[in-house]
Amino acid sequence: MAINVIPKDEMILTDTELDLDEIDHGGEDFKGSTLQKIEIKLPDSICGQRLDKVLSTLVPDYSRSRIQQWIEQGHVLVDGKVSKIKTTMLGGEVVQVQPQAAADENAFAPEDIPLNVVYEDDAIMVINKPAGLVVHPGAGNWSGTLLNGILFHRPALAMVPRAGIVHRLDKDTSGLMVVAKTLIAQTELVRQLQARTVKREYAALVWGTPSSHGTIDAAMARHTRDRLKMAVSHSVLAKPAITHYDRLATGMLERFPVSLVACHLETGRTHQIRVHMASLGFPLVGDTLYGKQHLARFFARQALQARKLGLIHPISGSAMEWSIPLEADFVELISQAGMPAQ
């Protein structure tokens, strides 16, 4: 059986995944102008197995998901013809695979994206991320991210996994994030996040009037039907999620009641505040994914901002805390609702 594969020294893998729900999963990142074609005559022993499984076994240098993409895109031929992922192989077929460069091959390129640095020393950097900026490259956003900006303004962070990013905010959520500048600092910050000792407070404007305060202890998992969404779940795959909230003020947007709440995260699941508040019947103003799409005219994004961040400095051991005022568009929104400036 002849197998012609790309040499190992031409293959570059992204750094190891941090054990954090907030960080996106990476994949292979293949650099180089030419990826060699692979040709395999399938052995009889694979008879009855589907095509993608066969190739993931015989060509282990590539992930099964990557191979499935190539099959769907027509870059895999079986006896000279395009095939399907689930096609059953009988043995003896000649399979040709033309590897394709990953869409994310420039994901870690430095880009001149402005950074609003609130605090910085030799170990950490605290950034006020604007709404509309994606934190980390991923599907549909392989450039123009906070990570690209960090690598431009702090080139040395190319030596730290994920450019020092240890947690993230949604694209349309603004506010404070901490970035580690050394591997030691990153490891310690990850430990603090896992130990739930990092203090994170968010301001959110929600539809309706929740109780004066409360705790939402509801595990979360990927939505079973809509993969873009998260959901409160009792599935065995669900992860613990705890949000504490306090109602700060109430008002009206036209004839609709709204409330300004402070949310304190004990855990940091994807979309946690948005999902938890919506699960109580109080979705965020402007959140069309989990909330009231017909009321999107009031705000162009979810009304959510990470206002306070507290942690133990990973080197000095000192307790540190930062806070920022509400963004101008958020201030205008609560003003429209007849609430005092916060």
Q: What is the side-by-side order of every strand in the sheet holding 76-78? A: 38-41, 94-97, 76-78, 81-82
Distance CA 149, CA 108 (A): 10
Asked whether 201 and 308 are in contact (CB, 8 A), the reply is: yes
Q: What is the dihedral of CA 163, 266, 329, 139, to 10 degrees?
A: 40
Active-site residue, 170 included: yes
Helix or strand or coil: residue 295? helix
Cα–Cα nearest to 149, from 183, 189, 116:
116
Count Cβ neighbours within 10 Å for each residue of 31-70 and write b for 16 or more, e otherwise.
eeeebeebebebeeebeebebbbbbbebbeebeeebbbbb
From 29, 170, 172, 287, active-site residue: 170
Report residue 210 as tokens.
């929740």
Q: Where in the sequence numbering do the catalytic residues fall?
A: 170
